[in-house]
């Protein structure tokens, strides 16, 4: 994070161009007229250009730049970045420095009026990624046109900072779990035979509002949800058909939407103490629960790419891995033609994303 | 942080602008009063910025003014390029000062200040410029540095300004107290001022280095003509150069306005051509191609200075006709002398100005000290009238007349070639009288053998007269007059050239009642000394056709109006003295108190004179102020009406109810019940307590008021009148006996 590669450039600003033109005109006038006062004018303009030329570059020397960013963020989620600039000089301050991202020239991400010698200045900026996956933060350019705004010097610091961008997670209602399984043991999160009270827990967005215990909630001041029976069968396998489909219009967009959907459902379920597993044509994430599993799911989904069209059908693969404990299989596909299809012997229907209600 | 840097920007801008105007003040074209302009601009800047922010109409008005200025500036540019450019510069600067500014506008203002500095350099400033230049450089350093910081802080004002992390441990080997003084860092704030101070000094030093070590070249490396310099233009210079070539453009810029208050027709007597000569000074020494003055002894006439600086010739007024002139001189940059008709006998300067007679030329009056660039003065000239016989009979014994040989030599020396001298002899071979000889030479030069033109070819510097007489035979008044003067001198007759202005009937302005003399009227003629007569005027020049093109007429119209404005300003504001005399006012007041009619009447004429003498300018100003105030009031009430239109829209019934209630409150107030600060209900309660007998009446009135004002009930006029009668019927009961 502290590596810096020196790439510095200088250019004349518009004001600097005017100064140069005025200097040339003053010089021509002094040569032509022989009037000493014109030489004085030329000298004054020249002094400005001289100091701009010298100080613009020197102003960016003996600086160290460090950047801190989170290791992982969600897509579209703004996150903060700290940039620290250290003045390594012993006597002289540096003045009027602007931070820019190398890929967004002219857009300032921070400004430092001055850094005394040996001191550190810190700039906070925010950024967001619009695409998931492994992203590298762009290099940092320090730019200064101190003192007069005539010459702009730029120095690049290639600081490699990687950020893993998870898919966006939107809380989803889990009632769809009931709809996906025709019969058999249902996860006891829904109303079922017996309706026996088991415990109270805090409300998680997506819970069925019918199970909120209002009396208890009023007592405690927080929303509490009744759990009716012990969760004996709270396994969910999310099967994701990520095979590349050339015939699907806007396949990559739909792929991203599917990834986002899976992330939303998985995280919601995990927050509700479900055990979630994910199966794709090329990957299997064994079931797990809790925060650790959440991170594994998000990391997997952050890196997932469309599989080869010839990869194994994940639905078939999931069927091979079937565990008697599992009670819910969630099938997700980016192919709209598959939405609503009945698979796995009539037991499972491919999820139609339009049916998912986000909380 | 933007506020701090903005403050620095504005202060340095003020200093930079002030320095640029100080540079202008060191030139001949401007006086120290020009330094008031930046003070005015800086003082008005915050006021008008607020105006600009609050009133969209302000910007519309200034845009219209700018459009008008654009039309107005075009003839000025044609008339005088440098003056036009400076006017544009000043307008842009004023416009920017009096509007809201962003970073770009501040940079434009810096550029304007720089251009003003260059304009000052172009006009040969005094050595005081050397003090102004460092001030300019120092203020420019701060200005550019602070505007750069301001631009960055504004761009990052949304919270992306860096914080300094707390210092841990000691950095470097300097103690923190000293280090922070050196770097300007105190705790977590940073001061860039010490850095800029060092930078300012560095810039001054580097400026000097550049100045000393920039390689010089011979001037004129790109050609002698300078596009910023004006082409040859008519007008008086401090010297006369015969050899330069080029086309002299007739300059329509006005020099002075001359009126004749004591002439019955308003016009003075003129010569046969309708021309009048306005003499400024003379030259008696021609060396090469330059005329200059060879100082001699004061010999013929003396001036004496009376009280208030009036100059009067000692021997004057021998019964010849006197002509009084009232002259408004527009610009006193012409240092050679003040114009007046010959022969000048008396000249009365304005207050604050001192005139000095020249030591050797008794008819040249120079300005010793002036309190303003333009002023008005009175001159009385003596018109000498001689018959032809008297002139012809003037003797030629100059050696006896000129007691000091040196003076005669001064006025008779010449460097004509033998050929030119022979020409003079040939032209005057059969003539004895100096007057007739001069006439003959004059007639020769006025003949068709010579062409009067303003398009000149360069003449040889050492022999321009000979070149004119025998080679070119074309030229302007300087060549004509110089040739005649030399030819006359070659005959041993004292002669010199006089410079000034010549007006014709074309220059008479009926509207202004006087001659408007312009730079194109500048002229050179000859004065030949005739014993017993004095210096006699001869003019060998031809006549140049007047430029009557549309552009020239436009220039004349424009300069005439500018002259009138200046006269109005000088007469009605600077020279205003028609105010009320304080002593008369006191007398009038005393007379009024004592009912002393006589005293009042004696003071009254003076007061009446005030009304008569009220200057037009003040009247116009008062009318303008009144019109502006009226417009402002109308606009304000319209704005208030618009603002309240949505909130308050009274019906007629509500207005009547309100009016009736106001009358009730006033009535009750007279009876000791103050209802102005309480509501209707409280008022009724007060009445119940203090005027119980009026309870029913007041209750009815208050209820009617509430219903009509708030309840929307009607209250027609007849009902209103009845209620008002009831209000008037409310009285305090008489105490029981």
Cβ–Cβ under 8 Å, residues B350 and B376: yes
Give the pLDDT confidence score for residue A296 in this predicted structure.
Answer: 92
Chain B residue with CA closest to A19: the answer is B111
Chain B residues closer than 8 Å to A30 by CB:
214
Point out the residue among A41, A43, A147 whose CB comes nearest to the CB of B121: A41
DSSP 3-state of A356:
coil
Point out the residue among A35, A40, A120 whose CB comes nearest to the CB of B211: A40
Task: For residue range B555-587, list pLDDT tens digits in order.
Answer: 788 788 878 877 776 666 666 555 556 677 777
Number of helical H runs and strand E runs in chain A:
7, 19
Instruction: List the end-to-end C-alpha distance of chain A, in Å, as a whole number.
Output: 39
Chain B residues closer than 8 Å to A28 by CB:
222
Chain A residues closer than 8 Å to B148 by CB:
96, 145-149
Burial of B639 (0-12, 13-18, 19+ CB in 10 A): exposed
Residue B87 tokens, joined? 């006017």
Q: What is the spatial distance between Cα B75 and Cα B653, in angstroms, rounded to a whole number?
A: 63
Chain B residues closer than 8 Å to A123 by CB:
160-163
Q: What is the spatial distance between Cα A349 and Cα A334, in angstroms, rounded to a whole number?
A: 14
Residue A88: count other Cβ atoms within 10 Å of its Cβ. Answer: 13
Which residue in this structure is represented by tokens 């003959």?
Answer: B440
Residue B394: count other Cβ atoms within 10 Å of its Cβ. Answer: 19
**Does residue B187 surpass a pLDDT of 50?**
no
Point out the residue among B172, B190, B214 whose CB comes nearest to the CB of A91: B172
Chain B residues closer than 8 Å to A146 by CB:
145, 148-149
Burial of B481 (0-12, 13-18, 19+ CB in 10 A): buried
Task: Place B223 in a pLDDT band, splitting at 50, 70 and 90.
Answer: low
Chain A residues closer than 8 Å to B222 by CB:
28, 31-32
Chain B residue with CA closest to A143: the answer is B152
Give the pLDDT confidence score for residue B319 in this predicted structure.
Answer: 57
Q: Report CA-CA distances (Å) from A352 to A54, A236, B276, B312.
A: 65, 17, 108, 116
How close does chain A come to B223, measured CA to CA in Å? 7
Cβ–Cβ under 8 Å, residues B361 and B281: yes
Chain B residues closer than 8 Å to A145 by CB:
148
How close does chain B come to A96, measured CA to CA in Å? 7
Residue A339: count other Cβ atoms within 10 Å of its Cβ. Answer: 17
Percentage of residues of chain B with pLDDT beyond 70: 78
Q: By C-alpha distance, which of A137, A8, A113 is closest to B195?
A: A113
Give CA angle at B712 (B707, B713), nearest 5°. Answer: 60
How close does chain B come to A80, measured CA to CA in Å? 12
Look at A116 and B164 and tell me if their CB atoms are within 8 Å.
yes
Look at B133 and A40 and tell me if their CB atoms are within 8 Å.
yes
**Does residue B728 surpass a pLDDT of 70?**
yes
Look at A27 and B214 and tell me if their CB atoms are within 8 Å.
yes
Task: For residue range B170-180, list pLDDT tens digits in order.
Answer: 555 555 555 55
Q: What is the spatial distance between Cα B464 and Cα A355, in angstroms, rounded to a whole number?
A: 108
Chain A contact for B227, CB < 8 A?
Answer: no
How close does chain B come to A116, measured CA to CA in Å? 6
Chain A contact for B213, CB < 8 A?
Answer: no
Chain A residue with CA closest to B171: the answer is A118
Look at A32 and B153 and tell me if their CB atoms are within 8 Å.
no
Burial of A232 (0-12, 13-18, 19+ CB in 10 A): exposed
Mutation for B interface: A15, A28, A42, A43, most B CBs within 10 A: A43
Task: For residue range B341-391, list pLDDT tens digits in order.
Answer: 888 888 888 776 777 777 667 778 877 766 566 778 889 888 888 888 888
Task: For residue range B145-162, list pLDDT tens digits in order.
Answer: 999 988 888 887 766 777
Which three-class secondary structure string do you get for A138-190? CCEEEEECCCCCCEEEEEEECCCEEEEEECCCCCECCCHHHHHECCCCCCCCC
> Following DSSP, what letter does each residue of B484-539 receive, concatenated?
HHHHHHHTT--EEEEEEEEE-GGGEETTTTEEEEEGGGEEEEEEEEETTTEEEEE-
> Following DSSP, what letter does each residue of B63-108 receive, concatenated?
HHHHHHHHHHHHHHHHH-HHHHHHHHHHHHHHHHHTS---HHHHHH
Cβ–Cβ under 8 Å, residues B559 and B254: yes
Q: Phi and psi of A330, rounded to 5°?
A: -110, 120
Chain A residue with CA closest to B222: the answer is A32
Q: By C-alpha distance, which of B89, B77, B92, B78 is closest to B119?
A: B89
Chain A contact for B225, CB < 8 A?
Answer: no
Chain A contact for B144, CB < 8 A?
Answer: yes
Look at A146 and B111 and tell me if their CB atoms are within 8 Å.
no
Q: Is the pTM of the predicted complex or chain greater than 0.80?
A: no
Q: What is the spatial distance between Cα B245 and Cα B389, in angstroms, rounded to a whole number?
A: 42
Cα Dmax for chain B: 134
Residue-averaged pLDDT of chain B: 79
Q: Report CA-CA distances (Å) from B159 to A67, A105, A111, B99, B212.
A: 18, 19, 9, 28, 47
Look at A113 and B133 and tell me if their CB atoms are within 8 Å.
no
Chain B residues closer than 8 Å to A125 by CB:
160
Q: What is the spatial distance between Cα A339 and Cα A331, in angstroms, rounded to a whole number?
A: 9
Chain A residue with CA closest to B153: the answer is A111
Chain A contact for B198, CB < 8 A?
Answer: no
Chain A residues closer than 8 Å to B174 by CB:
91
Give the pLDDT confidence score for residue A155 in this predicted structure.
Answer: 92
Chain B residues closer than 8 Å to A42 by CB:
210-211, 214
Point out the residue among B165, B171, B207 whose CB comes nearest to the CB of A43: B207
DSSP 3-state of B44:
helix
Q: Report CA-CA distances (Å) from B69 to B64, B73, B74, B554.
A: 9, 6, 9, 16
Point out the residue among B111, B162, B173 whose CB comes nearest to the CB of A111: B162
Mean pLDDT computed over B721-732: 85
| Local structure of residue B469 (DSSP, 8 states) | I
Chain A contact for B319, CB < 8 A?
Answer: no
Look at A44 and B149 and tell me if their CB atoms are within 8 Å.
no
Give the residue with greater pLDDT, B11 vs A107. B11
Point out the residue among A30, A122, A147 whose CB comes nearest to the CB of B162: A122
Look at B161 and A44 and tell me if their CB atoms are within 8 Å.
no
Task: For residue range B636-683, list pLDDT tens digits in order.
Answer: 777 766 665 555 567 778 888 888 888 888 888 888 887 777 777 778
> B 89-108 residues with CB below 8 A of A?
107
Point out the residue among B145, B149, B160 whose CB comes nearest to the CB of A125: B160
| Local structure of residue B322 (DSSP, 8 states) | E
Mutation for A interface: B114, B186, B207, most A CBs within 10 A: B207
Q: What is the spatial distance between Cα B676 and Cα B397, in angstroms, rounded to a whole number?
A: 106
Task: For residue range B65-95, list pLDDT tens digits in order.
Answer: 898 888 888 877 776 777 788 888 889 999 9
Chain A with chain B: Cβ pairs closer than 8 A: 193
* Beta bridge mates, B291: B240, B286
Residue A246 tokens, joined? 């050339």
Q: How confident is chain A (359 residues) per 10-residue block, as mean pLDDT?
A: 57 92 90 82 92 89 90 88 89 87 82 87 85 88 91 89 89 63 41 53 81 85 74 74 87 90 90 87 86 91 89 71 63 86 69 74
Which residue in this structure is represented by tokens 């300007």?
Answer: B184
Chain A residue with CA closest to B5: the answer is A113
Strand positions, DSSP E, chain A: 7-12, 63-68, 72-74, 79-87, 94-101, 108-115, 120-127, 133-137, 140-144, 151-157, 161-166, 199-202, 224-227, 235-240, 275-279, 284-288, 328-332, 342-343, 348-349
Chain A residues closer than 8 Å to B118 by CB:
26, 41
Stretch among B331-335, B423-427, B446-450 having the lowest mean pLDDT:
B331-335
Q: By C-alpha distance, which of A93, A204, A279 is closest to B195?
A: A93
**Does residue B444 surpass a pLDDT of 90?**
yes
Cβ–Cβ under 8 Å, residues B725 and B717: no
How close does chain B come to A294, measured CA to CA in Å? 34
Chain A residues closer than 8 Å to B223 by CB:
32
Look at B211 and A43 and tell me if their CB atoms are within 8 Å.
yes
Give the residue with greater pLDDT, B335 vs A37. A37
Mutation for A interface: B127, B143, B148, most A CBs within 10 A: B148
> Following DSSP, what letter does each residue of B141-153 receive, concatenated?
HHHHHHHHHHHHH
Point out the residue among A95, A121, A124 whose CB comes nearest to the CB of B164: A121
Q: What is the spatial distance between Cα B460 and Cα A340, in angstroms, rounded to a whole number?
A: 109
Cβ–Cβ under 8 Å, residues B488 and B424: yes
Task: For residue range B508-554, list pLDDT tens digits in order.
Answer: 888 888 899 988 888 999 999 998 888 889 999 876 666 677 767 77
Q: By C-alpha distance, which of A343, A169, A326 is closest to A237?
A: A326
Chain A contact for B180, CB < 8 A?
Answer: yes
Residues contacting residue B490 through CB under 8 Å, at least 6 positions apart: B414, B416, B420, B421, B424, B425
Task: For residue range B227-265, list pLDDT tens digits in order.
Answer: 444 455 666 666 677 766 666 666 777 888 999 988 877
Look at A122 and B190 and tell me if their CB atoms are within 8 Å.
no
């Amino acid at each position: 994070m502290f590596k810096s590669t020196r790439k510095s450039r200088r250019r004349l600003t518009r004001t600097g161009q005017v100064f140069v033109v005025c200097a040339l005109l003053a010089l021509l006038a002094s040569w032509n007229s022989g009037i000493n006062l014109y030489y004085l004018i030329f000298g004054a303009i020249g002094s400005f250009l001289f100091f701009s030329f010298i100080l613009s570059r020197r102003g960016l020397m003996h600086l160290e730049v460090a950047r801190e960013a989170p290791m992982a963020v969600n897509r579209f989620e703004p996150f903060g970045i700290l940039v620290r600039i250290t003045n390594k000089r012993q006597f002289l301050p540096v003045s009027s420095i602007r931070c820019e991202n190398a890929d967004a020239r002219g857009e300032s991400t921070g400004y430092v009026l001055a850094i005394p010698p040996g001191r550190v200045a810190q700039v906070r900026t925010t950024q967001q990624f619009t695409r998931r996956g492994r992203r590298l933060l762009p290099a940092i350019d320090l730019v200064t046109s101190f003192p007069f705004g005539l010459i702009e010097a730029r120095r690049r610091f290639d600081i490699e900072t990687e950020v893993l961008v998870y898919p966006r997670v939107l809380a989803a209602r889990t009632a769809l779990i009931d709809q996906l399984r025709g019969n058999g043991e249902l996860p006891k999160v829904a109303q079922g035979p017996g309706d026996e009270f088991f415990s109270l827990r805090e409300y998680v967005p997506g819970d069925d509002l019918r199970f909120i215990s209002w009396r208890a909630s009023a007592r405690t001041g927080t929303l509490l949800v009744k759990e009716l029976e012990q969760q004996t069968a709270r396994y969910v396998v999310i099967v994701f058909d990520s095979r590349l489909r050339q015939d699907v219009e806007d396949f990559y967009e739909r792929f991203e939407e599917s990834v986002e959907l899976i992330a939303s459902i998985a995280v919601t379920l995990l927050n509700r103490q479900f055990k979630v597993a994910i199966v794709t044509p090329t990957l299997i994430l064994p079931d797990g629960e809790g925060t650790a599993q959440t991170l594994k799911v998000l990391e997997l989904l952050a890196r997932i790419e469309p599989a080869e069209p010839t990869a194994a059908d994940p639905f078939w693969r999931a069927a091979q891995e079937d565990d008697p404990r599992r009670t819910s299989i969630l099938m997700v596909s980016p192919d709209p033609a598959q939405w609503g299809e009945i698979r796995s012997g009539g037991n499972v229907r491919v999820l139609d994303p339009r049916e998912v209600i986000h909380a | 942080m933007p506020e701090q840097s903005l403050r620095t920007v504005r202060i340095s801008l003020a200093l930079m602008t002030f320095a640029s105007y100080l540079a202008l003040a060191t030139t001949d074209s401007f006086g120290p009063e020009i330094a008031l302009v930046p003070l005015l601009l800086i003082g008005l800047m915050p006021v008008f910025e607020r105006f600009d922010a609050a009133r969209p109409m302000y910007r519309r008005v200034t845009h219209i003014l700018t459009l008008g200025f654009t039309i107005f500036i075009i003839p000025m540019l044609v008339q005088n390029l440098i003056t036009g450019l400076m006017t544009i510069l000043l307008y842009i600067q004023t416009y920017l000062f009096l509007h809201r500014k962003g970073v770009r506008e501040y940079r434009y203002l810096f550029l304007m200040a720089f251009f003003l500095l260059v304009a000052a350099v172009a006009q040969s400033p005094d050595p005081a410029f050397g003090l102004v230049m460092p001030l300019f450089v120092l203020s420019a350093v701060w200005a550019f540095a602070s505007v750069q910081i301001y631009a960055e802080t504004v761009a990052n004002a949304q919270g992306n300004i860096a914080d300094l992390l707390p210092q841990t441990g000691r950095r470097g080997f300097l103690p923190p107290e000293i280090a922070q003084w050196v770097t300007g860092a105190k705790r977590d704030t940073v001061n860039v001022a010490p850095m800029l101070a060092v930078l300012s000094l560095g810039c001054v030093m580097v400026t000097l280095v550049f100045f000393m070590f920039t390689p010089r070249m011979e001037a004129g490396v790109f050609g002698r003509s300078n596009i910023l310099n004006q082409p040859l233009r008519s007008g008086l210079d401090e010297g006369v150069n015969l050899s330069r070539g080029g086309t002299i453009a007739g300059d329509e810029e006005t020099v002075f306005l001359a009126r004749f208050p004591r002439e019955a027709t308003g016009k003075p007597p003129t010569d046969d051509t309708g021309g009048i000569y306005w003499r400024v000074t003379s030259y008696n020494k021609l060396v090469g191609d330059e005329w200059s003055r060879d100082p001699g002894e004061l010999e013929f006439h003396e001036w004496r200075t009376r009280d208030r600086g009036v100059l009067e010739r000692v021997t004057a007024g021998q019964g010849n006709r006197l002509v009084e002139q009232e002259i408004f001189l527009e610009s006193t940059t012409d240092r050679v002398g003040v114009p007046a008709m010959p022969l000048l006998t008396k000249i009365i300067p304005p207050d604050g100005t001192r005139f000095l007679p020249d030591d050797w030329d008794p008819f040249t009056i120079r300005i010793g000290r002036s309190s303003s660039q333009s002023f008005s003065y009175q001159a009385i000239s003596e018109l000498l009238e001689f018959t032809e016989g008297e002139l012809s009979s003037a003797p030629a014994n100059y050696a006896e007349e000129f007691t000091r040989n040196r003076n005669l030599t001064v006025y008779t020396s010449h460097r004509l070639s033998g050929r030119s001298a022979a020409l003079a002899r040939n032209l005057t071979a059969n003539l004895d009288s100096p007057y007739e000889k001069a006439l003959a030479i004059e007639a020769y030069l006025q003949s068709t053998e010579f062409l009067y033109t303003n398009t000149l070819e360069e003449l040889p510097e050492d022999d321009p007269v000979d070149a004119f007489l025998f080679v070119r035979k074309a030229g302007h008044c300087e060549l004509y007059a110089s040739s005649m003067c030399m030819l006359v001198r070659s005959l041993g007759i004292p002669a010199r050239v006089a410079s000034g202005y010549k007006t014709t009937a074309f220059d008479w302005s009926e509207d202004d009642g006087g001659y408007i003399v312009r730079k194109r009227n500048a002229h050179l003629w000859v004065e030949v000394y005739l014993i017993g007569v004095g210096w006699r005027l001869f003019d060998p020049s031809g006549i140049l056709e007047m430029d009557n093109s549309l552009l020239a007429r436009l220039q004349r119209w424009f300069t005439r109006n500018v002259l009138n404005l200046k006269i109005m300003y000088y007469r009605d504001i600077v020279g205003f003295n028609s105010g009320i005399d304080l002593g008369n006012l006191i007398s009038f007041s005393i007379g009024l108190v004592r009912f002393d009619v006589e005293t009042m009447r004696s003071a009254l004429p003076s007061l009446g004179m005030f009304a008569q003498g009220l200057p037009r300018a003040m009247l116009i100003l008062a009318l303008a102020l009144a019109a502006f105030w009226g417009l402002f009031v109308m606009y304000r009430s319209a704005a208030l009406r618009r603002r309240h239109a949505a909130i308050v829209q009274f019906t007629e019934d509500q207005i009547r109810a309100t009016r009736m209630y106001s009358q009730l409150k006033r009535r009750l107030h007279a009876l000791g019940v103050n209802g102005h600060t309480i509501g209707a209900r409280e008022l009724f309660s007060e009445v119940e307590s203090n005027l119980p007998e009026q309870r029913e009446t007041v209750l009815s009135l208050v209820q009617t008021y509430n219903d009509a004002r708030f309840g929307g009930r009607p209250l027609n006029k007849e009902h209103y009148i009845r209620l008002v009668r009831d209000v008037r019927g409310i009285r305090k009961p008489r105490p029981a006996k």
